[in-house]
Structure 1
Amino acid sequence: MSELSQLSPQPLWDIFAKICSIPHPSYHEEALASHIMSWAKEQGFWHERDQVGNILIRKPATPGFENRKPVALQAHLDMVPQKNNDTVHDFTKDPIQPWVDGEWVKARGTTLGADNGIGMASALAVLADNSVEHGPLEVLLTMTEETGMAGAFGLQAGWLQADILINTDSEEEGEIYMGCAGGIDFTSTLPLTREALPAGYQTLKLTLKGLKGGHSGCDIHVGLGNANKLLSRFLFAHAAELDLRLIDFTGGTLRNAIPREAFATLAVATDKVDRLKSLAAGYLTTLQNELSLVEKNIAIVTEAVESSEQPLNAASRDAFIALLNSTPNGVIRNSDVMKGVVETSLNVGVVKFEGDEAVINSLVRSLIDSGKEYVVEMLTALGQLAGAKTLAKGSYPGWQPDATSPVMALVRETYEKLFDRTPNIQVIHAGLECGLFKKPYPEMDMVSIGPTITGPHSPDEQVHIASVGLYWQLLTALLKAIPAK
C-alpha cells in the first residue's frame, strides 16, 4: 500500500488502497459497505442504506454553490474475482495486493478491482477533500453490479435528490460515454447419460490454459480466445476418431469474463493415448498460428488423473460437444449508428457438468432490444435441436443515447477547456447501470467518465496512473462548473 501513497492525486489513491485491503467480490461487499458507512458517520455526513444494500451519502454544497443543480456521483461496490491458476488467493478473505509497474498500477496475480474501485475512490475522495468546490452532492454506491446489477434493479424512486448523475464506471480517459448496451443471461441445460467405462482405458485431463481473458463487453471485439469454445472445437474434431469417453468438462468462472481456462476429463484406450497427445500438440500449433497476435501464452496440457465418475455414453457426448461447439460466441453484429462500436455480442462464459446435466451459461449484450432477442432465439433453437432446456433471465435495458444531454455537452466543454483537445463521445458495449437508473429517475441527466483501465475482469487488469490524474481534474472541474438550477 505504501507504493500507492506516493501517487497523486490524494486522497484518491489512499482511499483506493483501503478499498483493496477489504475483500469485496460480488455477493461479499458487506465488509466494505460497513467500513464506508462508519467512515461517513465519522465525517458527519448524512448516510443511509436502502432495502437492497445500496449506500447513499450526502454532503452539503460548498458555500456559494448552494443554488447549483444537485449531482450524484455513482459507482458500484463489488469487483470481479479472477486470478491466475498459480496464484493462491481467497477473494472473500484476502486483500488485493496492488503494486506500481511504471505508468500502471496492477495487482499481484489477481484482478485489481480498479473496475469500479477507482471510481468509488474518486467519489469518496470528493467527499473527503474540502478543497473541491461543488453544489449539493450525493454519492451512490450500488450492490452487486458485476453479477446482475442487483443494486441498480432495486433502486427506488424518490431516494436520490440529484438532477444529474455522473457514473464513474467508464474505462478510457478522453472518452465520454452517453449510452451502453443492455444484456440478458442465457442458460442451456443438457441432460446427460452415463455408462460404465470399458477395460483398457486410461483417464486423462486435457487442459487449455494461458489465455488472457478479459471483459466480455469491452474486450469482445479484439479477438481474444474463449477457452470453452477452443476446447470444444478440439473435442468435436477428434472425439469420435479416438473414441474419447468424456467424464467431465468445466471452463470459465463468470459469465461476464472471457474464459481463460477450460478442462476436460476423459478416458481413452491405452493404445490411443499417444495419438491424443500428438493431436493436442498439433492443435496447439494451429491455435498459436491463428491467435498469435493476441494470445501469446496459450498452452494445452495432457496429464494422467484418476476419476471414479462414469463417462458419458456416445450419444450424450456427441450432443454436448456439438451444442457447445455450435454455440455462437463473440461479435454478432457491429452498430450501423455508432461506427466502431459492437451492437450485439455474446460470451460463452461458464460451462460445467452438474451431476447428470451439462450447463452452459452465456451473457448476451446488445445496444438494441431486438439484437438481444435475436441471439436468445438463436440459442433457444440450438437448445431445441440438442434436446436441452433453455432459460433467458435477468434482462436489463441499455442506456439510450441522448444527443441533447446538457451534462454531456458540459463535460465535453469542460474537457476541451482543461486539456485543449476534444474528447470522444461514445456508446460502450458493456452494461452500465445508467439504463436501469432511468426507470426510477427518467428525468435525470446522466453521463459516464473514468480513467484508462485495461484488462478488466482478468488478472491482467491495470489502471493508468496519469489518466487517473486527468480524470480527477475533469471530475473536480465538472463539479465546479455545474450550472444553477
Structure 2
Amino acid sequence: MNAHLEQLSPTLVWRHFRTLCDTPRPSGHEAELVAKLQRWADQRGLKHDRDTFGNLRIVKPATPGHESAPGVILQGHLDMVAQANAGHDHDFTRDPIATYVEAGWLHARETTLGADNGLGVAAALAVLEDDELTHGPLEALFTLEEETSMGGALNVAEQWLEGDVLLNLDSEDRGEVYIGCAGGADVVVDAQLPTTALTEQEQVMRLALTGLNGGHSGMDIDKGLGNANRLLVRVLRKLESHGMRLGDYHGGTLRNAIPREAFASLFLPRDEVAAATALVAELEAILQRELGPLEAGMRLSLEPASEPESEQEALTADATGMLVAALHSAPCGVERMSSEVPGVVDTSNNLGVVNLDAGRFHLCALVRSLHDSAVFDLADRFSALFGLIGARVKVENAYPGWAPHADSALLARFCRVHESLLGAAPEVKVIHAGLECGILGSKYPALDMVSFGPLIRGAHSPQERVELDSVEEFWKVLRALIEDLARTS
C-alpha cells in the first residue's frame, strides 16, 4: 500500500515513511514496527539494542576520518495518535494508513496521518541509510508511547546513549528551530456517583456534538478551536433547567488531542422534551456564531434514543447537578500567556477524555506549562475542585519542561547552516508542547539539543497533513547540519 510515496522526493525519506504508514503503530502497539526496524538494521549491518522499556537504538559508525567528531543522536518517537472521523471504520492496530497527495500536501483518508512523528523517524532512518553522507558517530533513538504517556522517554536507560548533541526531529513548523518546550502531567479523576432508574415520566434522549476540527492539545490550544467536552457540558448546564438527568457521557479519546466529538444520554421529563429540543437548536446557532468559520462543521443535536429504555439508570438529580457544575468550572484551554516569551502559551489544560457509565465517572486532562511549578498548581486546582464531589484525583506521567539556552553552540551552528543553505535565518522558538527533549535532558544534562522538522498541520486529528516541499527542505537542512558537525574534531 502507499506505493505512490516512493515517487516523492527525497526518495530515502519517503520510502521509510511508507513503511511507517503500512505498519500499524498506535501508542502501545509499536512491536511490529520495532521488529521491522531491527531486521532492516541487521540487513545493513548496523548495531542495534533496546533498553528495558523497549526503546530502540540503532548505531552507525562515523565516516572514516571523522571518528573524533561530536556524536549525533537523532531522536523521534515511533507511535502515532489514532484518530478517525466518525463513521469511518478503521482499526489502528491492524489497518495501514491510506495516504494521498493534494495541492502539494500529503493527507490521510479519514484518519490521522502519522507524520507526527513518522517523518522524523523516516528522516533518521534515511540518514542511517545514506552512504553518501559524511558524518561523525551516529545514534538513532526511537522511543515508545510518546503520545499517551511519554513513557519511552521517561524510562530511557541512563548511561546508554553516547552522543554529544541531540537532534529532536519532532517539531512541525518550516523555517523554525525550537530550543525549549513545556512540561506537563496527566490529571486523572475517578468517582462513583449515585444513580436511579428511569421513571415512566422520563424519556431517554441522545445529545451529540460533532464536526469539530480537533487538534494538538499543546500547539493548537490557542487557535480558538472548539473543545467538544467544554461545549457539550455548557449545553448540559442549560438543560438542567428542564429537569435533565445525565445517563452516560463519552467525549474525546486522547488526553493530548482537543476532542472533536462528545455524546451524552439524557433522561428528560416527557413534558420537557419539546422545550429542551428547541433549546438545543438555539444553542447550536449560538455556538456556531461564537466559533465562526473556524468550526463551520460543528453540529449539535438532541434526538430520542433508539435503544430500549427498560432498566436504564441515570445519575440522580443532585449528582447530575454536582458533576455538571464541576465540569463546567474545570480549567480548560489557555490559562495564561508567557511573560518571558512573547506570543507563547505559558500554561494550559485540555479536557481530553470524559466518560460516564453506570455512575462511574472518569476524566483525563493534560496540563502543560513552561514552569513545572505551574503544572502542579493547576493539577492541584483539579484536586480541590473534584474533591468537592468526592472524586479521587491522581497526577500521573509528569514530565519536565526543556529550559531554553539561547547561547547553545548547537543552536548557533544550526542557524548558520540554515541561513547558508536557505538564505534566511530560522526563527528560534519555544513550543507549548511536550517534546521529549526535557525528559532526555534531565537524564543526560550534558547534551546540547535542538528540535526541528517539516511543516505539519492538524496533528492529532484526521485533518493532519504535511507540506511536501517542507520535507525536502527539512531533509536538506538535516543532512547539511550532520555534515557540518562532522567537520568538527
Q: TM-score, normalised by structure 2?
A: 0.97
Equivalent residue in structure 1 for 2:359, among 356, 360, 385: 356
SS of aligned partner of 2:292: coil
Q: CA deviation at 1:11?
A: 1.1
SS of aligned partner of 2:191: strand
Q: CA deviation at 1:294?
A: 1.5
Query: Conserved in 2, the CA contact under 8 Å of 1:4 and 1:100?
Result: no
- Give the counterpart letter for 1:38 in structure 2: R
CA deviation profile, 1:212-244 (whole Å, cap 9, x unmatched): 0000000000011010110110111121x2111
Q: CA deviation at 1:391?
A: 1.4
Residue aligning to 1:125 = 126
| 1:77 pairs with 2:78 | yes
| 1:207 pairs with 2:211 | no
Whole-angstrom distance in 1 between the partners of 2:62 and 2:463: 39
Residue aligning to 1:42 = 43
Q: CA deviation at 1:354?
A: 4.1
Whole-angstrom distance in 2 between the partners of 1:268 and 1:300: 17
- Give the counterpart letter for 1:3 in structure 2: H
Q: CA deviation at 1:14?
A: 1.1
Structure 2: gaps spanning 5 or more residues: none
Q: CA deviation at 1:131?
A: 1.4
Residue aligning to 1:254 = 254
Query: Conserved in 1, the CA contact under 8 Å of 2:206 and 2:263?
Result: yes
- Give the counterpart letter for 1:155 in structure 2: V
| 1:279 pairs with 2:279 | yes
Q: CA deviation at 1:388?
A: 2.2
Q: CA deviation at 1:439?
A: 2.4
CA deviation profile, 1:315-336 (whole Å, cap 9, x unmatched): 1100110011111100001111
Residue aligning to 2:288 = 288
Aligned residue runs from structure 1 range 339-418, under 5 A:
339-418=342-421
Q: How many pairs were matched up?
A: 484
Residue aligning to 1:157 = 158
Whole-angstrom distance in 1 between the partners of 2:47 and 2:341: 41
Whole-angstrom distance in 2 between the partners of 1:460 and 1:74: 25
Residue aligning to 1:67 = 68
CA deviation profile, 1:36-61 (whole Å, cap 9, x unmatched): 01100011001111111111111111
CA deviation profile, 1:118-164 (whole Å, cap 9, x unmatched): 00000001111211221111100001111111111111222111001
- Give the counterpart letter for 1:465 in structure 2: L
User: Which piece of structure 1 moves more, 406-415 or 373-382?
Assistant: 373-382
Query: Conserved in 2, the CA contact under 8 Å of 1:190 and 1:320?
Result: no
Residue aligning to 2:341 = 338
| 1:189 pairs with 2:187 | no
CA deviation profile, 1:368-419 (whole Å, cap 9, x unmatched): 0121122122212212333322111211000111111111111111001011
SS of aligned partner of 2:313: coil
Query: Conserved in 1, the CA contact under 8 Å of 2:313 and 2:358?
Result: no
Query: Conserved in 1, the CA contact under 8 Å of 2:5 and 2:18?
Result: yes
Query: Conserved in 2, the CA contact under 8 Å of 1:323 and 1:383?
Result: yes
| 1:302 pairs with 2:306 | no
SS of aligned partner of 1:195: strand
Q: Which runs of 4+ in 1 moved over 6 A?
A: none
User: Which piece of structure 1 moves more, 61-70 or 309-318?
Assistant: 61-70
Residue aligning to 2:116 = 115
CA deviation profile, 1:173-210 (whole Å, cap 9, x unmatched): 11100010000111222331111222132211100000
User: Which piece of structure 1 moves more, 403-412 or 454-463?
Assistant: 403-412
CA deviation profile, 1:107-128 (whole Å, cap 9, x unmatched): 0000000000000000001111
Structure 1: gaps spanning 5 or more residues: none
Alpha carbon RMSD of aligned pairs, Å? 1.1
- Cα 1:338–1:216 change in 2 (3 A) is same
Whole-angstrom distance in 2 between the partners of 1:85 and 1:7: 30
Q: TM-score, normalised by structure 1?
A: 0.98
Whole-angstrom distance in 1 between the partners of 2:372 and 2:144: 25
Whole-angstrom distance in 1 between the partners of 2:301 and 2:100: 31
Query: Conserved in 1, the CA contact under 8 Å of 2:215 and 2:458?
Result: yes
CA deviation profile, 1:412-465 (whole Å, cap 9, x unmatched): 110010111111100100001111111221101111010000000000000110
Whole-angstrom distance in 2 between the partners of 1:200 and 1:343: 49
- Give the counterpart letter for 1:262 in structure 2: A
